[in-house]
Structure 1
Amino acid sequence: MKILLSIKPEFANKIFDGSKRFEFRRSIFRNKEVNSVVVYASAPVSKVIGEFDIEKVHNKELNQLWNETKDFSGITREYYDLYFSGKEEGFAIQVKNPRLYNKAKNLKEEYNMVPPQSFAYIG
């Protein structure tokens, strides 16, 4: 099963160039059968640009999570701390086999969906 994630373009691009191997989330999907992510690059791109498989979902206390993921986080510690403000633990989706599409797809036309706030399941 796949999920659709809205990701800021700067971070989405880092996933596909290999410099970001972890996508951080404050909350996560509950369905354990989810094994891949379709990437929607948010505005100003506003297109589905690729997908990746999920190696593993890490759920840890924030300092431990940062220490284990920082080398391929694709973000600064300051951004990380701000993003997780008010939380004691977080999630990191470990990226495996990222595939950038040759041509970006329109979310409404391709999937008949609107951009999700957090994530959306795709059949």
Structure 2
Amino acid sequence: MNILMSIKPEYAEKILNGDKKFEFRKMLPKNKDVEKVIIYATLPVGMVIGEFEISDFISMSPSKLWQLTKKRAGISKSFFDDYFNNRETAHAIGVGEVRRYMRGKSIEEFLNKNQAPQSFYYVN
């Protein structure tokens, strides 16, 4: 099973370039059998541009998660702190092998709807 995930274009590029090894989330998929994230780069790109294998799901206090991930986070400490403000638990998805698509694809090629996910959608 895979998930299609909305990611800001600048962070999607960092993932595909290998500069960002963790995708931070306030919630993780309930189904831990998810193997791959299909990357939907949000507007202004508005296309599915690649995918990555999930190497790990990590959940812990924000301070501990930052210490573990900061060298390959691909985001600033202030952005991380703002994102997880007042949260007891922070989550990260470890980025494994990445694959950039030769051409961008529409959401309809993966889902039977034309609406980008707020966070993510499950995809078969």
Q: Same fold (TM over 0.5)?
A: yes
If the length of structure 1 is used for normalisation, what is the TM-score? 0.96
- Contact 2:6/2:119 (CA < 8 Å) preserved in 1? yes
Q: Which amino acid aligns with 1:83?
A: Y
Counterpart in 2 of 1:77? 77
CA displacement at 1:16 relative to structure 2: 0.5
Q: Does 1:25 align with 2:36?
A: no
In the alignment, what sits opposite 1:115? 116
How far apart, CA to CA, are the structure 1 residues paired with 2:91 and 2:98? Answer: 19
Contact 2:110–2:123, Cα closer than 8 Å, also in 1: no
Q: For residue 106 of structure 2, what is the aligned residue in structure 1? A: 106
CA offset at residue 108 of structure 1? Answer: 2.4
Deviation at 1:48, TM superposition (A): 0.1
Identity %: 44
SS at match of 1:116: coil
Residues in 1 aligned to 2:77 and 2:51: alpha-carbon distance in whole angstroms: 26
**Partners of 1:70 and 1:85 in 2: CA distance:** 17
Query: What pairs up with 1:1-123 in 2 under 5 angstroms?
Result: 1-113=1-113, 114-123=115-124
Amino acid of the residue matched to residue 67 of structure 1?
Q
**Structure 1: 4+ residue segments shifted above 3 A:** none
Gaps of 5+ in 2: none
- Residue type of the alignment partner of 1:47: M
Aligned positions, number:
123
